Structure 1
């Protein structure tokens, strides 16, 4: 299905709004003197109706909660320290104290559509659980990082790991094992108390970002850990009131204690089995699908076969890696055209526009992603600077996966009130909220990113209707077939109604 043939959901009341706006503008043009206050009221209403959630009808109970949230937001915006204006690493303690954040944690948020598998689980759990398991070896690299591997015997030295130590023995010799564990956590996350000094540039933070992924890999690709890791990740999402996941994964090969390697089909079966087990034990969870995500030099043939073998599990394909340092999408046009040439369907979910290098070759990824009929746009930070791409995305119902904390930590924006998603929100652009690499940023789930969107990016105009539409969007723009979307929306509505009834009665 081409971009031109995508189903476009008409905006409710589009024609009425257009006629009303025309009447207002006509009056503004011909009327002299002081404008009629009713004109202003109409214009304000029309503009507000265009934003995300602007046409969502709120029940009486929802209106009470909305009024309460607005009061809380006004208080936070008037405070001396406004969290969205600070780097998230500095703002996190402030967010923890926010009553808005507490409400957002309890709010049913629908689906998480943009999370990478290696960062699915908190580093606290990785260190306090996984590194305490038997046969875990560690080495410290020349690049001031760490590597882990599970092995029945001491691993052989490599160029960057000359000496492997059994972690159990190393920890036992530490004066303060708790402090040692904290130092391990620091090697598995970007979090630091002084981010501006630690990461003075995009190159610096991206270098550390990619280093952390390598450090985590040795832990989570050990087959017994892999299963527990997936289950724990679904559990942490479920506790954050998320009911469905689309996980980006490169399907790194998993290994056993004796060093034997499983193929990728084993990993896919494991994803399927763990998800089925979790759904059976948690009826409020809808499920999970995978978006096969590879670095920009890898072809798509393997993903086509994976989707053929696991059609219910594999949602589609993406290219990942730092856009500013990789090849643009257009470079891979022959490979990306392969599914069409073979007569098969492989939905694309491209990262595009995760850059502030306006006018460069990589900046054109936004247009190329749409040209290749992407189902959603990952990040889309640069979309606001591309009017044609924005129009095609809106008319084609191609949602943008906004990950505000990721964009801030990776130094695309400092004050989240200036995030370009504010423009998309004000225009009612198709959009969902996600967290990208939560464990690397010191978060879990979606609540932190929802907070930044609701309080910072959306400002005072963002209301409960905004939150409601964003949650609905996450199911509406998922890769689920229509029947499962309807089931998911019904499940979400029940939990939403319960959330409203439990949180609105005491808020006059």
Structure 2
């Protein structure tokens, strides 16, 4: 990245402006105005990026596309994603972003990587798959060589193969199953999900519905391979996946420990990279639900330290998942979270923090506490603008915010993505990366939808090709990869980027 020509410092320009104002000029010097505009433009993400001639041609093309997009009455970032998805798919900008090498996806959850249509068509049609209906109108699954034991709060198990044979229209049954595995709806999402409580409850139900399908060992391997394939097809070359590391089970009901799960992840990743050598790999962030008690948290931190020692190349660190407002704050677990440092063990943290619109609560302090515990990145950080100290610390410490636009909108933190707090962060070139959180739960796939919302929505007209380039490079620079591996990944990404630019610009 070449440096741009040296420009006057902010303080100098402000002094000049002040002298003009006190000098009683009726019209400010237009050269000063232009200098201030250039200065402000240079401060945004990618603002100091020196573009090649080919990049400038592509940038001009994107600007024209964006101007046409923002003039539309049905502007997608101002609409709920469920209503905007088809409009985004038809957008020429989205077509370019799909082809763009996006670097890494650093905030992705393992059980929501794969589109649910693939799950229904390729998983629920396997033999020995049973389904039951819960009292709260959800569904559960299990693979078993024998008729499963009754499950509390669930109807008697039904063998799906037999159920489909009795059903007049298997497509209706498949669609019903799909509706239980995703939040996406063709109805008005504001009516279906009138509050954060409703959407979070449904969100957690989708994971419980998926659990019995995806944790069956043969499915687990196929599911993860498919997930890598979908991100790779979307031109993502590296992932950092947050995983509860579930106990996988076999057809006879026997289960495996977390070491087996992590080893399975490793084996599938190696198989995928052998088939696609330009895919850079995957690292994993072990997680636990933030609703556990102190005793359980201590156990899982101990377990994470052991996994970090046994799998140093693929274990990136530790995090907590689940709704912040319903779980315990980070400070509650301070004794357990201090164990790695007390024992001289390097267990990096990647805490979800600030995924809330609450103010002045214990939950709202998670941002400061995450930084106190030396988090490597901040997951979501939606509340960061309300915490100037945390914002300043994260910038100075180069702790990137993992921004997930579609997720924040669907989970009802922001209605119009032009008003997303990351709009300010991008204008300030705050350390941040774009990711997709739980794409399958939102009816999305890969990373392109989130890049669209970032580039067109809170990026506004000002964001340009340099912004996209900066965000893609950030995803490698702020990854958990070692400095040596970051350089290798950047070199691979740069080759892909130059090819992309030359093809699209031409």
Query: What is the TM-score when the length of structure 2 is the normalising length?
Result: 0.96
Residue aligning to 1:166:
159
Question: Which residue is 2:75 aligned to?
Answer: 82
- 1:336 Cα shift? 0.7
How far, CA to CA, are the matches of 2:451 and 2:155 in structure 1? 44
How far apart, in 2, do the equivalents of 1:452 and 1:344 lie? 39
Whole-angstrom distance in 2 between the partners of 1:438 and 1:37: 47
* Structure 2 equivalent of residue 57 of structure 1: 50
1:20 is displaced (CA, Å) by: 4.6
Which deviates more from structure 2 when the two are superposed, residues 415-424 or residues 152-161? 152-161
User: How far apart in 1 are the matches of 2:443 and 2:437?
Assistant: 12
Whether the 8 Å CA contact 2:4–2:49 is kept in 1: the answer is no
Task: Please state how far the C-alpha of 1:251 moved relative to its aligned partner.
Answer: 0.6
Mapped pair 1:249 → 2:250: no
**Contact 2:398/2:431, CA 8 A, preserved across alignment:** yes
- Whether 2:240 is the aligned partner of 1:239: answer no
Matching residue of 2:462: 461
Would the alpha carbon gap of residues 14 and 305 (structure 1) be closer, same or farther in structure 2, given more than 3 Å must change?
farther
Residue in 1 that maps onto 2:116: 123
Q: Does 1:273 align with 2:267?
A: yes
1:356 aligned onto 2:357: yes
Counterpart secondary structure, 2:242: strand
Deviation at 1:358, TM superposition (A): 1.4
Q: Specify every segment of 5 or more residues in structure 1 that has no aligned partner in the other structure, as ranges.
A: 1-10
TM-score, normalised via structure 1 length: 0.96
Q: 1:150 aligns with which of 129, 143, 147?
A: 143
In structure 1, what is the Cα distance between the partners aligned to 2:483 and 2:53? 30
| Partner Cα distance (1:20, 1:75) in 2 | 38
Aligned match of 2:22: 30
Task: Provide the residue aligned with 2:311 in structure 1.
Answer: 310
Structure 1 counterpart SS, 2:268: helix
Counterpart-to-counterpart distance in 1, 2:117 and 2:20: 59
Secondary structure of 1:315 counterpart: strand
Q: Secondary structure, in 3 states, of the residue corresponding to 2:9?
A: helix
Per the alignment, residue 7 of structure 1 pairs with none
Stretches of structure 2 lacking an aligned partner (at least 5 in a row): none
CA contact (8 A) 1:111 1:474 kept: yes
Partner Cα distance (1:12, 1:388) in 2: 30
Give the deviation of 1:119 after TM superposition: 0.2
Cα drift, residue 120 of structure 1: 1.0
Quick check: 1:333 aligned with 2:346? no
Matches within 5 A, 1:97-496: 97-193=90-186, 194-296=188-290, 297=292, 298-299=297-298, 300-496=301-497
3-state secondary structure, aligned to 2:150: coil
Distance 2:146 2:448 in 1: 42
- What do the CA deviations read for 1:386-432 (whole angstroms, capped 9, x no partner)? 11111100010000000011001110000000101111011010000
Contact 2:286 2:315 in 1 (8 A): yes
Q: CA offset at residue 161 of structure 1?
A: 1.9
Backbone CA RMSD of aligned residues: 1.3
- String of CA shifts for 1:175-210, please: whole Å, max 9, x gaps: 221222111110000011211111110000000011
TM-aligned CA deviation for residue 76 of structure 1: 0.9
Q: Secondary structure at the match of 2:168?
A: coil
Conserved 8 A contact 1:24-1:43: no
Aligned-partner Cα distance in 2 for 1:13–1:146 = 60
Mapped partners of 1:20, 1:480: distance in 2: 39
CA contact under 8 A between 1:24 and 1:42: conserved in structure 2? no
Is 1:43 the counterpart of 2:36 in the alignment? yes
CA change 1:51–1:117 in 2 (3 A) is same
Shift of 1:29: 3.8
2:426 is paired with a residue whose SS is helix
Q: Measure the CA separation in 1 of the matches of 2:16 and 2:401.
A: 32
Instruction: Look up the match of 1:4.
Output: none
Q: Give yes or no for contact 2:4–2:50 (8 Å, CA) kept in 1.
A: no
